[in-house]
Amino acid sequence: MANEQSSSTTAPALPPSRPRYGRAVNIALRTAHIGVTGVLCGGHVFDVPPESLKIWLAWTILTGGLLAVVEAYPRVHWLYQGRGLFVLAKLALLCLIPWLWAYRVAILAAVILLGGVGSHMPARFRYYSVLHGRMLDGHKPPGGSFPA
- With H, G, I as helix, E, B as strand and everything else as coil, classify residue 46: coil
Mean pLDDT of 33-47: 93
- Please state the φ and ψ torsions of residue 15, each to the nearest 5 degrees: -65, 150
| Cβ atoms 17, 74 nearer than 8 A | yes
What percent of the chain shows pLDDT beyond 90? Answer: 38
Q: What is the pLDDT of residues 124-140, one digit of tens each?
A: 888 888 888 888 766 65
Using H for helix, E for strand and C for coil, what is the string for 53-116?
A: HHHHHHHHHHHHHHHHHHHHCCCHHHHHEHHHHHHHHHHHHHHHCCCCHHHHHHHHHHHHHHHH
Which residue type is seen at 144?
G
Straight-line distance from the first to the last Cα atom of the chain, in angstroms, rounded to the nearest whole number: 51
Beta bridge partners of 129: 81, 134
Mean confidence (pLDDT) of the chain? 82
* pLDDT attached to residue 148: 44
Residue 14 confidence class, pLDDT cut points 50, 70, 90: very low
pTM of the model: 0.71
Which pLDDT band, with edges at 50, 70 and 90, does 83 fall under?
confident
Tens digits of per-residue pLDDT, 107-124?
A: 999 999 999 998 898 988
